[in-house]
Structure formats: structure tokens, C-alpha cells
């Protein structure tokens, strides 16, 4: 925290007053010249969104971030705080961050007129120069712009015609700051109209007060394209006053999606040390989101948030942690069976079309997991033939024949030793792994064993059944799987 000073000392220090655009631009230019990262943690946007953001800042534009849910729009807006100076001087006691060089409120003007160079100056940290408001239908002009405060008028014994009876809304209080208005289409059209002059001319009108207040604000709006038809729209004159509209998008590769999930998922260091997550399990988790974005059962216009895989990863870890507690083990590995625990993360994050609603959310979630399993399986192993010619051996013939005389029951609560001993008992399965993916480490090979069995059941070469505590695999068509 910087100590308070006076206007005279501030001028002597050589401080140069800047608009917020000049401030953000200067810091952006400094970072670019120093080869420093500007927007950290925005994976997959390096060649798309970030260059457009830089250009919009250099152009001095207000920005509208347009994209589906879970595309880091709010994160982008919050990251712009790092482009502000660490501290900013204001007239001490000002409600609207008055610059002593360019005071705009009556309070600041009167104080400087009275005290001159002895006007007290306080400092505001950049973390306090970020204002965020969710645009809900109940937001009114008084919330954003301001209103007359009858209590202040009575306390100070002032008539309503006196400017000092005004109570400033969020936008005037965000003077010389970044103001983010999330979900802009949700804002009623008449409220959007109140922003016209603030964006363009800086005029503020409160209950008949015609104030000339050249507010200095960097506006960032966010919107979901689907909102334009579902709940409202951005009125055309307001859209015209927003300098740059930037489209966001979902990660385009599994690798980028993994980076986002690993960065955002809340997993303790203790859990990371005790629970091993194979690379293939991480990839499979992201494949589920990719499958959802392409599924005929999921409403593509609503999008599939990156929060799906973040929440799913946390549920995967929770499933493994529960096993540790129940089996009194020290360490464990995430299994394909554990992916049943991510179903609540899927059902809560997707919007279904009519056909999906008919099938049911849980059923659709399992279809997405199966689709992801087959995508990953076919990237590692030969495709399972739909029809088998008699006498012609396929890579999976020995595994299928093993199940003609045996069945395999895998329990969620098995210790790793018990679980993988059961898988190792299927000898042809181990042979298939060694012949096709010998380069994988032991954790991924173990995961592959489950992956193959799962793929064979999806391909209807084996049967799979489940209850609350276990999965059972058996030869196709036999009937009951669980032996009692």
C-alpha cells in the first residue's frame, strides 16, 4: 500500500496523468517489447483471440467478447487488470476515483479549489480498479448509473436540486477502471439505452440532472450468441458503439483441452501424490467433451462448457480418493470404471435437444463416454470387425474365446493389486497390449486393458453389466453376468 500524499508532492514526483486507454496501451506495449506473456493461462487462444485483443487495446476500443458458455470470456476480462498500473492516484475521499489533474465530481472540484496543492491524494491498487456486473433482467438504471439519495439529502439538509444528493451507480464508481458487463443481451433494452452516451460522449443523466461527466472507463462486454434469440439482444445503437467484437472458441485439440483442465481443476497436492492419472485417462476425459460437442443429442447452440471436463476431473479424483479411504490403501490409479462417476458432471453441463430428452440425460452421458472410448481405442488398436469370417482369426479372437469359458468381475473398491491381478488373468489381453502399444508405460497399459474390454462390449463382441459396486464382462449372449 502506498502512503497518502499531497497534490503538490504528486506533481513534483513527475507523475503523468493518463487515460485508462493510454495506461493499458503503454503497459501492453511494454510487455510486448519485453517479450513477456500478456494474457497467461488462455490456452488455445495464442493465434486467434489474443492477437485480436491486442489490436483492440491498441485501437482504444471497448470490447465485446462473443462466445458460447465456458470459453473463458470472464477470465479474459479479468486478466486485463494486469495491464493497469500498480497504483493510481485519486483525490482522497472521492467516490468516483477523481484524478486530481482532471476532477469531474463536485466534491473533487470543490476540494481542489479550496486546498489547491495541499489537496490530499490517496492511491488505489489495480486490484480495486476492476468492476464486474452480471446483466440480469432486474438490473435498473439506478444500479448502473445512479439515483437521488433522499437520506443523504435529509442528513445534509440539501434540496434535491443540489448535485451532492446524488448516489452514484456502479459505472460512475468505475471511473478510470475496467468495467465488465457479463451476459449483455440479458440487460433490458431500455437499460442498454442508458449506456449510449456513457460509451460515446461521457454524458450522465440522473433524475433530471444533466451532468457533464467525462467518465474514463474501459468497457468489456460478454455475450452468448444463443442469448440473442433465447432471452434478448444487444440493441443496434449500443452494438455500434462497441469498437471490437471478438469471437471466442473451444480448444481445438485434446492437448490444449488437457492444459485447461489441469490448470483449472481443484486438486490438492496430497491427492496428486496419492492418485495416479494415466495420460490415456486424461485424454479420454477430454474426448468426452469433444464427443458432446458433436453429439446429435446435445444442443450445439448452447455449447459444452470447458467446466464439464474440469468438474469431471475433480469427480474422477474423488472416486479414486473414496476407494483409497474404503480400501485403506496408500495409492491408487484412476480406472476406466471410475468414469461412471463423471456422469453427474456431464448431465449438469449439457443442454439436450428433444431426442436427447427422450433418451434421458444419464443415458446420453453413457453414450458420450462410450463414443470417447471408441475414439481413443481406434487410435491405438485395429478396428474391431463387425462380421467375422469362420476360421479367420482377428486380433481379438483369443480374448473373445477366453470369455467363452470365463467371466471377469471388476469392483470399484478393489485395491490396485486385486484389480490388476484380475485383468492380468486375461492372458490374451496382455498379449494384445504388448503387440500393439508396447511403448506405453505400465499405468497406460493397465488402463488400455480396460479400454479394450470396454470397446469389445460396445462392439457387441462381449457383454457388460453393472451394479452399484462392480462391472462384469462375459461372452456375448450368455445372459446373467453376476455370479452369486
Write the pLDDT tens digit of every residue in 43-63.
Answer: 999 999 999 999 999 999 999
More reliable by pLDDT, 150 or 377: 377
pLDDT of residue 423: 95
HEC string for the chain: CCCCEEHHHHHHCCCCCCCHHHHHHHHHHHHHHCCCCCCCCCCCCCCCHHHHHHHHHHCCCCEEEECCCCCCHHHHHHHHHHHCCCEEEEECCCCCCCCCCCCCCHHHHHHHHHHHHHCEEEEEEHHHCEEEEECCCCCCHHHHCEEECHHHHHHHCCCCCCHHHEEECHHHHCCCEEEEEECHHHCCHHHHHCCHHHHHCCEEEECCEEEECCCCEEEEEEECCCHHHHCCCCCHHHHHHCCEEEECCCCCCHHHHHHHHHHHCCCCHHHHHHEECCHHHHHHHHHHHHHHHHCCCECCCCCCCCHHHHHHHHHHHHHHHHHHHHHCCCCEECCCHHHHHHHHHHHCCCCECHHHHHHCHHHHHHHHHHHHHHHHHHHHCCCCCCCCCCCCCCCCHHHHHHHHHCCEEEECCCCHHHHHHHHHCCHHHHHHHHHHCCCCCHHHHHHHHHHHHHHHHHCCCEEEEECCCEEEEEECCCCCCCCC
Distance from C-alpha of 331 to C-alpha of 272, rounded to nearest angstrom: 10
243 and 255 part of one domain: no
Taking all residues of the chain, what is their mean pLDDT, rounded to a whole number? Answer: 89
Q: Which of 379, 405, 433 is the last residue of a domain?
A: 379
* CB-based burial label for 45 (10 Å; 0-12, 13-18, 19+): buried
Residue 377 and residue 449 in contact, taking contact as beta carbons nearer than 8 Å: no
208 and 291 part of one domain: no
238 and 260 part of one domain: no
Radius of gyration of the chain (CA): 30
426 and 369 part of one domain: no
* Number of structural domains the chain divides into: 3
Share of residues in the chain with pLDDT > 90 (%): 69
Nearest to 97 by CA among 80, 119, 62, 122: 122
320 and 418 part of one domain: no
Q: Could you report the per-residue pLDDT of 361-416, keeping only the tens digit for each?
A: 999 999 999 999 999 999 999 999 887 666 688 899 999 999 998 999 999 989 99
Residue 465: what are its φ and ψ, rounded to 5°? Answer: -135, 160
107 and 229 part of one domain: yes
Q: Could you report the per-residue pLDDT of 287-304, keeping only the tens digit for each?
A: 999 999 999 999 988 889
Give me the domain span that covers residue 347: 251-379
pLDDT of residue 207: 62
pLDDT of residue 391: 66
Average pLDDT of 199-217?
A: 72
207 and 64 part of one domain: yes
Q: Could you report the per-residue pLDDT of 162-189, keeping only the tens digit for each?
A: 677 777 889 989 999 999 999 888 888 8
167 and 70 part of one domain: yes
Residue 318 and residue 341 in contact, taking contact as beta carbons nearer than 8 Å: yes
Non-local (6+) Cβ contacts of 386 within 8 A are: 459
Compute CA distances 363 → 4, 31, 294, 370, whole Å: 62, 49, 16, 11
Place of cell 437499460: 191
Distance from C-alpha of 168 to C-alpha of 148, rounded to nearest angstrom: 9
CATH number, domain containing residue 352: 1.10.8
pLDDT of residue 174: 93
Q: Could you report the per-residue pLDDT of 467-481, keeping only the tens digit for each?
A: 878 899 998 865 444
CA atoms 399, 374, 383, 444: torsion sign: negative
24 sits in the region (left: phi over 0; alpha: psi -120 to 50; else beta) called alpha
Is the pLDDT assigned to residue 129 strictly greater than 80?
A: yes
pLDDT of residue 167: 78
Q: Could you report the per-residue pLDDT of 210-252, keeping only the tens digit for each?
A: 567 788 999 999 998 865 444 568 888 888 889 999 999 999 9
Distance from C-alpha of 201 to C-alpha of 79, rounded to nearest angstrom: 27
Q: Which of 231, 247, 263 is the last residue of a domain?
A: 247
Q: Provide the pLDDT confidence category of residue 202 given band limits of 50, 70 and 90.
A: low
Is the pLDDT assigned to residue 482 strictly greater than 90?
A: no
157 and 34 part of one domain: yes
Cell numbers at 226, concatenated: 444463443
CATH number, domain containing residue 408: 1.10.10
196 and 308 part of one domain: no
Is the pLDDT assigned to residue 484 strictly greater than 60?
A: no
**Poorest-confidence range of 7-16, 342-351, 416-425, 464-473?**
464-473
128 and 219 part of one domain: yes
Compute CA distances 351 → 115, 301, 308, 357, whole Å: 61, 9, 12, 9
Cell numbers at 171, concatenated: 459505472
CATH number, domain containing residue 90: 3.40.50.300
150 and 230 part of one domain: yes
Q: Which of 379, 406, 424 is the last residue of a domain?
A: 379
Non-local (6+) Cβ contacts of 37 within 8 A are: 31
Amino acid at each position: 500500500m502506498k502512503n497518502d500524499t499531497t497534490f503538490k508532492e504528486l506533481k513534483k514526483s513527475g507523475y503523468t496523468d493518463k487515460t485508462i486507454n493510454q495506461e493499458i496501451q503503454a503497459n501492453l506495449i511494454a510487455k510486448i517489447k519485453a517479450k513477456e506473456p500478456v494474457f497467461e493461462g488462455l490456452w488455445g487462444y495464442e493465434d486467434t483471440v489474443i492477437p485480436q485483443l491486442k489490436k483492440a487495446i491498441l485501437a482504444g476500443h471497448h470490447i465485446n467478447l462473443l462466445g458460447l458458455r465456458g470459453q473463458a470470456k470472464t477470465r479474459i476480462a479479468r486478466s486485463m487488470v494486469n495491464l493497469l498500473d500498480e497504483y493510481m492516484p485519486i483525490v482522497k475521499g472521492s467516490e468516483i476515483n477523481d484524478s486530481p489533474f482532471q476532477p469531474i465530481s463536485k466534491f473533487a472540484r470543490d476540494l481542489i479549489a479550496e486546498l489547491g496543492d495541499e489537496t490530499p491524494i490517496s492511491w488505489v491498487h489495480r486490484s480495486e480498479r476492476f468492476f464486474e456486473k452480471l446483466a440480469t433482467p432486474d438490473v435498473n438504471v439506478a444500479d448502473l448509473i445512479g439515483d437521488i439519495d433522499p437520506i443523504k439529502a435529509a442528513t445534509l439538509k440539501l434540496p434535491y436540486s443540489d448535485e451532492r444528493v446524488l448516489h452514484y451507480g456502479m459505472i460512475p464508481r468505475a471511473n478510470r477502471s475496467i468495467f465488465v458487463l457479463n451476459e449483455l443481451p440479458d440487460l433490458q433494452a431500455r437499460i442498454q439505452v442508458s449506456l449510449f452516451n456513457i460509451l460515446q460522449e461521457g454524458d450522465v443523466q440522473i433524475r433530471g440532472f444533466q451532468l457533464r461527466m467525462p467518465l474514463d472507463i474501459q468497457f468489456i462486454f460478454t455475450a452468448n450468441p444463443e442469448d440473442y434469440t433465447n432471452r434478448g439482444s444487444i440493441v443496434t445503437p449500443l452494438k455500434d458503439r462497441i469498437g471490437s467484437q471478438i469471437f471466442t472458441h473451444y480448444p481445438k485439440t485434446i492437448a490444449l483441452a488437457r492444459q485447461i483442465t489441469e490448470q483449472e481443476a481443484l486438486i490438492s497436492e496430497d491427492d496428486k501424490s496419492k492418485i495416479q492419472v494415466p495420460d490415456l485417462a486424461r485424454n479420454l476425459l477430454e474426448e468426452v467433451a469433444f464427443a458432446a460437442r458433436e453429439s446429435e443429442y446435445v444442443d450445439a447452440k448452447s455449447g459444452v462448457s470447458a467446466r464439464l471436463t474440469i468438474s469431471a476431473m475433480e469427480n474422477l479424483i474423488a472416486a479414486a480418493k473414496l476407494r483409497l479411504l474404503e480400501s485403506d490403501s496408500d495409492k491408487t490409479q484412476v480406472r476406466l470404471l471410475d468414469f461412471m462417476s463423471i456422469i453427474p458432471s456431464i448431465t449438469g453441463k449439457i443442454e439436450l435437444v428433444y431426442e436427447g430428452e427422450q433418451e434421458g440425460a444419464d443415458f446420453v452421458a453413457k453414450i458420450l463416454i462410450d463414443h470417447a472410448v471408441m475414439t481413443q481405442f481406434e487410435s491405438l488398436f485395429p478396428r474391431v470387425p463387425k462380421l467375422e469370417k469362420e476360421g479367420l482369426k482377428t486380433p481379438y479372437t483369443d480374448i473373445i474365446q477366453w470369455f467363452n469359458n470365463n467371466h471377469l468381475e471388476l469392483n470399484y473398491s478393489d485395491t490396485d493389486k486385486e484389480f490388476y491381478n484380475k485383468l492380468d488373468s486375461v492372458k490374451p489381453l496382455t498379449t494384445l497390449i504388448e503387440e500393439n502399444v508396447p511403448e506405453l508405460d505400465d499405468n497406460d497399459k493397465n488402463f488400455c486393458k480396460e479400454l479394450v474390454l470396454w470397446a469389445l462390449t460396445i462392439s457387441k463382441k462381449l457383454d457388460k453389466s453393472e451394479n452399484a459396486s462392480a462391472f462384469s464382462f462375459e461372452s456375448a449372449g450368455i445372459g446373467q453376468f453376476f455370479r452369486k
